[in-house]
Structure 1
Amino acid sequence: MGKVKKRRNISHKNIAPPTGGPSQAEIDDAMEGLDDEVDANDGSTAIDAAVHGKKQVPDFLSGLTNLQGSVREATCVALASFFAGDGTPDKLKMLQKLLHAGLLKKLLPRAVDPSTLVRLHAVGALRNISAFGGLDVSESMTNEDIMTPCIKLVIEYATENLDVKATPHAVPILEQVFALLTNLCESCSLALIQVTHQRHVLLPAMLRSLHLPKQPLLHLETMKLLLVLSDNNPDLIQSLPAELPLTLLQILQAPEHSTKLRLTAIGVAINLPNVLDNAQSVEMLLPVLQSAVAYDPIGVVGQAQAASEQWALSQEDYGTVEVYADDDVDEKEHVDKVKKAVAVVRSWRDNVHILTLGLELLSNMLANVDSGDVDEWASDDEDGMEAAAQAQGTTEVCRPVSVPAQVFGAQNILPHVYSIVQSVVTVPAHLAAPVVDDFAAIRERALNCLTNLTAHLSVADLTRGCDLNQVFRVVLALYADVQVKHEESKAMFQPDQASTGDVDAAVYAIVFESLRDDGGKTGWLR
């Protein structure tokens, strides 16, 4: 006879950590039981973090200073897990309570804990908290001197003769440290200044990390940090190792490296001096960019629909250490379905990231070059201004074209980017909200790239590339669709989805370029 069996909760959050301490599910449950009547500025605000009953926030944080390494590790794991993923108002509220209770003063020393595992999870928690908390938290971390433990870890682990087998946690710790520094430098100017000040320690260590074989995650996090540090940072650019350009070239030309890593390497390369002034250098970067922005409208829509169908299922957690009995067939099948859904959604998000990053790099390569098309005079140089005005009326004005614009024109980049814009004039219906947001990101990046192409390519390349009058009409159709969605979002009281600033600016720029007429030579709309 068959038996009625209650379905078990398969979430890994309910699995108690083997080292002790609260499980992630208990931390999540605690969020629902917060006492809102307690002053948020009070360090003793309650948090349900124990297995049986409530603990005070200081009691929970005391796990970070417990004499038992297993308790310190479990507390760091709980913090890292809790602040992973997207933010919610409840989580932000919890973060503020923890900060007021002295979270950073207790968590920062754990980054250099005697236990290697505590170090790993402490830095992971700091990384997640820095991404979760944004500017304010990054500034607080910087003011609490987070750089000192980070630099100590880099010096200790990023050595010339690093033996990955002998120190298996060295690479994961470096990954977390570099990701943490990236978050801090993106959000906090003081952190960027401090990291730049430590460049003589960091840059050689980062170069050694890039040379470690078969460490793709470490390579990517290292390259992301290099990208942030090299952006408009002349002090650091002057201190870059002489072998860095060769290392970047080797990464770009190695097909075994991921597209994401190679694109990030391009971002670093275009920040280096004179790279965009050399046509051969630009041509070497172009194959990776063209591969990244390859776009099949039918395939993209199909993948988007598949991701939408699997989105809700992909948000379910499944246990990685669950032991199934022989008769748990239904449960195991459900877990397999969740894993497949997660894979489908992750593939979609990765492809969106690669496409938008490729479009952004193409756009930046055009925008970051000083074309020198604006002449400036002193306020009292009346003769110079008068001569320029007379010359403008009597001579043909030539549109200045940068080296990247010349290469892009020769490689016919404009028609391809225009085809992407044309395919996202409207967003397919009946998609999950996050997938719709992904389409909005594709639309903005493609439109910005098209804007810079119309602004910087020669008129000959523009008119040869595609029907510019049709481009103008497509852009206006896209603008109209965005405005309709904007009004719908306002009517539904969704201010986060109602902003159209980036699209508006791009459309206005294209309209300006289309109507601009310097002596009848640079305006292309007729």
Structure 2
Amino acid sequence: MGKSKTNKFRRPQFNAEGLSVTAVKEVEEDHDGVDSPAGELLEKLQSPSADVREFACASISRVVQQSQTIPGFLQRDAVRRLGPLLLDRSLAVRETATGALRNLSACGGHEVCEDMVKQDVMTPLTALLRECCAGFETNDALSLKGQKNTVEDVANEAVNLLWNLCESSSQALSVFNKAGILDVILQCLERHTHNIKLALSAAHCLHTVTEDNAELLCSMNNAVLGTLESVLLSSQADMAHTLLRTLAAGSVWNLKSSLPTARQAQTLNALMATLSQCLELDAGTLIPQLRQAEVAQSATASEAGNMEDHQAAAGNMAVEEMDDDEEEGVGPRTNGKATKIDKDFSDLLPRGKEELREATALLTAQQTSLEIIVNMCCSDDPSDDEWEEASSSDESEMCPDGLSEGNTSLLSPLCLSAEVHGALINHNIPEKELTEINFLPRMHRVQYRALTCLHNMLSTMDAESLGGAAALQDVAQHLSTLVFSAPEIPKEEEFLEAVTSAVRSLLQIIAYMKIPQCMTPQQLMSLSEAATRCDVVSVRVNALAILGITGSTLAKEKGTAETLQMIGNALLQVAAKDANLVVCGEALDALFDVFADGDEAERAAKNINLLSSLKALQPVFKAKIRKEGKGKYSPEQLCVLDNIKVNLRRFIGYLETVVKK
């Protein structure tokens, strides 16, 4: 999903109702021993007894969650053995067999998913989905009266398996497109009025398969868009429906190129209204309220003399509910990719099943909303492989003395359409997004998405749209509090990438508008120092850009030579020692900006022997480009590096004239 391609979940689930606890324990004990249970369990799949087949499928579901067991099952042709059971005469077997394949796909990763598709798992899965949907309309012709397993339970497992396969396998996605499975997913989505669990699975799947899927656009028609619009306009206020509407909004955005012209304005408005309403919800207030409700329930249970049982149940509810919606260790899916569970906010969540469901849905909805807005505002901001725009050293921007006039190339023109820009403003999206930056500190995933969203908004929207100078100063204060209130800068890579991108974009627009801001040079240097130690190239590039912007601003002020010296030394060290040429180039580019002009800059340059340091570095930098360039870096990156090489020569010439003064 554009710049923020980071997100989605798979969760294991199978129905173990009625299974023998001792039998399951025996399977687990066998697994702990020398002999693998794979062969025995796969043999049981052929049993004439439906109970035995169900037990075997459920046991496989449990065992394959330990990834080291998966090769043993694959070597014994588990996929081909489980596939026919998707169409077993017993609904319970269908559900547990689908759950076993779902866990196999979730815990096995991309390669296992590709292998499953090659073994033709999509054929029985497609047939199963069609039979399930037929069962919706024919009063569940496949189910047995009084049986707990229902067609919708089976369909939920099947949709989740489909979701896993399509996000990991292009071949599965191709089958999805060609086999007309979209209609099946829409039927599941339409069940939201009485089965929100199934509808959410379908919405997650649809959000995934519509992303960057040009082939699917040919299948779009008024009926498809009408279904999505009906979901967007639904009025249920619970958090599950809030998440459902948000996922539908994401699918609509993915399909925006197929919207009829006459409906574009109406649909865009409904989409923005959905995102706006989601971001209005204050998770920091709602989640504690949900927890208080759970405490009240606990007190009531205690008064009834059932406190001990209630606590035991509540203690297990979080695990049970996560099993309903997530794979252990894998977090909520938001746009088609699997991410780790945010265990960092788990201690803030209520423990009751319903309360946990609501809180998880709210957090996932807000994370997804922010990701959609990120992609709406997605600019060509540089990353480690899209770096050309980051350089202020393009020869077309040279000043008469051969140096660039600051970092103006970083302020790219607005790339939002007038309609999207207007809709964002009309629904106060920038203001609502900014409130997410100071999200509950431990709810990091939403906070990271809010920071990324802020970065893209700052890169693509004008200052007035964001609230003007006062609002930008408030943003700087929020970021300062977020980053610098702790004793040390957090070291998590995702946090550093999100926050350095946001700070970089904010500093660019503040410097351009000459707006005072609260972050001190010392604070920005500490952030940059932490970021330059990160293994992620884009984080290090951001850190150097922050130093460059800070230094170029300070160079225009009096009494800043000492601070400029510290910045210059830091940039020189990176330029000389970093193993990545893109990072070295960014450090040099920042040096050009910091020491391009001004008495303070000249004084600082002399004090750190900048001229002699760059002269020593020049041949090394040229040699690295020559030796490492072609095999390691893209043509675009090499073009930028060549420009920096030219500018390094010119900058050395400029410094030589300064010394002669």
Shorter-chain TM-score above 0.5: yes
Give the letter for the 1:204 counterpart. Answer: D
Matched residues in 2 for 1:122 and 1:368: separation? 44
Q: Note closer, same or farther for the CA distance 1:348–1:118 as it changes in structure 2 (3 Å cut).
A: same
1:101 aligns with 2:76: yes
Aligned CA distance change for structure 1 residues 407 and 165 (closer, same or farther; 3 Å): same
Residue in structure 1 matching 2:454, options 440, 443, 450:
450
C-alpha distance 109-464 of structure 1, shift in aligned 2 (>3 A): same
2:336 is the alignment partner of 1:361: no
Q: Is the 2:189–2:199 Cα contact (8 Å) retained in structure 1?
A: yes
| Residues 428-450 of structure 1, C-alpha deviations (whole Å, 9 max, x = no match) | xxxxxxxx4xx111210111121
Aligned partner letter, 2:196: P
Deviation at 1:234, TM superposition (A): 0.8
**Alignment map for 1:103-182 (pairs within 5 Å):** 103-159=78-134, 162-168=137-143, 169-182=150-163
How many angstroms does 1:266 deviate by?
Answer: 0.6
**What is the correspondence of 1:172-321 to structure 2 with a 5 Å cutoff?**
172-198=153-179, 201-212=180-191, 214-256=194-236, 258-274=241-257, 278-296=264-282, 299=285, 302=288
Q: Quick one: structure 1 residues 448 and 525, their matched pair in 2 at CA, closer, same or farther if it must change by over 3 Å?
A: farther
1:471 and 2:475 correspond = yes
Identity %: 23
Where does the alignment leave 5 or more consecutive residues of structure 1 unmatched? 1-14, 36-45, 48-55, 314-327, 371-375, 377-381, 428-435, 488-498
Displacement, 1:247? 1.3
Counterparts of residues 38-117 of structure 1 (less than 5 Å): 46-47=35-36, 56-82=37-63, 91-117=66-92
Q: Work out the CA distance in 2 between the residues paired with 1:400 and 1:455.
A: 9
TM-score, scaled to structure 1: 0.70
Contact 1:79–1:125 (Cα < 8 Å) also in 2: yes
Structure-2 change in CA distance of 1:292 and 1:273 (3 Å): closer
Aligned to 1:504: 496
Among 408, 419, 422, the residue aligned to 2:424? 408
Q: Which amino acid in 2 is paired with 1:157? A: C
**Structure 1 residue 308: deviation in Å?**
12
Query: 2:110, 2:289 → 1: CA distance?
Result: 35
Q: Structure 1 214/411 Cα, relative in aligned 2: closer, same or farther at 3 Å?
A: closer
156-165 vs 60-69, which moves further = 156-165
CA distance change for structure 1 residues 82 and 482 in 2, over 3 Å: closer, same or farther?
Answer: farther
Give, as a single letter, the amino acid of the residue that structure 1 aligns with 2:185: M
2:27 is the counterpart of 1:27: yes
- 1:106-164 superposed Cα distances (whole Å, 9 cap, x missing partner): 22222122333212211122112222222232122112111111112133332398223
The one-letter code of the counterpart of 2:374 is S
Instruction: Pick which of 275-284 and 230-239 moved more.
Output: 275-284
Summarize deviations over 1:462-506 as a string: whole Å, max 9, x none: 24385313322432443446893645xxxxxxxxxxx32x33333
> Do the aligned partners of 2:80 and 2:121 also contact (CA within 8 Å) in 1?
no
3-state SS, counterpart of residue 145 of structure 1: coil
Conservation of the 8 A alpha-carbon contact between 2:16 and 2:58: no
Q: Secondary structure at the match of 1:123?
A: helix
**Contact 1:398–1:521 under 8 Å retained in 2:** no
Task: Report if the CA contact (8 A) 1:120-1:173 is conserved.
Answer: yes
1: distance between equivalents of 2:427 and 2:134? 43
Deviations 1:250-286 (A, max 9, x none): 1111213811211111111111234599444322222
- Structure 1 residues 482 and 163: alpha-carbon distance in aligned structure 2, compared to 1, 3 A threshold: farther
Q: Is the contact between residue 447 and residue 506 of structure 1 (CA under 8 Å) also seen in structure 2?
A: yes
The alpha carbon displacement at 1:227 in A equals 1.4
Q: Give me the whole-angstrom Cα distance separating, in 2, the residues matched to 1:94 and 1:308.
A: 38
CA spacing shift, 1:397–1:524, aligned 2, 3 Å: farther
State whether residues 413 and 460 of structure 2, in contact with CA within 8 Å, keep that contact through their aligned partners in structure 1: no
> Kindly tell me: are residues 166 and 112 of structure 1, through their superposed partners in 2, closer, same or farther at Cα, counting changes over 3 Å?
closer
Partners of 2:201 and 2:439 in 1: how far apart? 33
Give the counterpart letter for 1:61 in structure 2.
L
CA contact (8 A) 1:276 1:369 kept: no
State the distance in 2 between where 1:242 and 1:117 align. Answer: 37
Paired residue secondary structure (1:367): coil
- Asked if 1 retains the 8 angstrom alpha-carbon contact of 2:412 and 2:459, the reply is no
Cα distance in 2, alignment partners of residues 307 and 485 from structure 1: 35
Q: List per-residue Cα deviations over 1:334-357 (Å, max 9, x = no partner).
A: 445445834344443232222212
Aligned mates of 1:301, 1:73 — CA distance in 2:
38
- After superposition, the Cα gap between the structure-2 partners of 1:307 and 1:485, relative to the gap in structure 1 and judged at 3 Å, is farther
**Pairwise mapping of residues 342-491 of structure 1 onto structure 2 (< 5 A)?**
342-343=352-353, 344-367=355-378, 399-402=414-417, 403-424=419-440, 427=441, 436=442, 439-464=443-468, 466-480=470-484, 484=488, 486=490
Query: For the Cα contact (< 8 Å) 2:473–2:516, is it kept in 1?
Result: yes
Q: Could you tell me how far apart the structure 2 residues matched to 1:23 and 1:147 are?
A: 31
Change (3 A) 1:466 1:170: farther
Tell me the secondary structure at the aligned position of residue 377 of structure 2. helix
- The whole-number CA distance in structure 2 between the counterparts of 1:369 and 1:251 is 32
Structure 1 CA distance, aligned partners of 2:514 and 2:117? 49
Aligned AA for 1:419? T
Q: Partner letter of residue 222 of structure 2? A: A
Q: 2: distance between equivalents of 1:183 and 1:307?
A: 35
Question: TM-score scaled by structure 2?
Answer: 0.56
How far apart, CA to CA, are the structure 1 residues paired with 2:21 and 2:56? 6
1:266 and 1:285 in contact (8 A); partners too: yes
The residue type equivalent to 1:193 in the other structure is S
Q: What secondary structure sits across from 2:137 in the alignment?
A: coil
The 3 A distance-change label for structure 1 pair 21 and 57 is: farther
**Residue in structure 2 matched with residue 11 of structure 1 by the alignment:** none
Structure with the bigger RCO (C-alpha within 8 Å, sep 6+) is 2
Return the alpha-carbon distance in structure 2 between the equivalents of residues 176 and 397 of structure 1.
46
User: Structure 1 residue 510: deviation in Å?
Assistant: 2.8
Distance 1:291 1:232 in 2: 26
Contact 2:135–2:142 under 8 Å retained in 1: no
Q: Structure 1 pair 283/135, CA: closer, same or farther in 2 (3 Å)? A: same
Count, aligned residues: 431
Specify which structure has the higher proportion of helix.
2
DSSP 3-state at the match of 2:165? helix
Contact 1:120–1:176 (Cα < 8 Å) also in 2: yes
Q: 1:80–1:126: 8 Å Cα contact kept in structure 2?
A: yes
Task: Measure the CA separation in 2 of the matches of 1:449 and 1:103.
Answer: 43
CA distance in 2, matches of 1:158, 1:260: 23
Are the equivalent residues in 1 in contact too, given 2:463–2:469 (CA < 8 A)? Answer: no
Larger Rg: 2
Equivalent in the alignment of 1:496: none
Answer yes or no: is the 8 Å Cα contact 1:204–1:241 preserved in 2. Answer: no
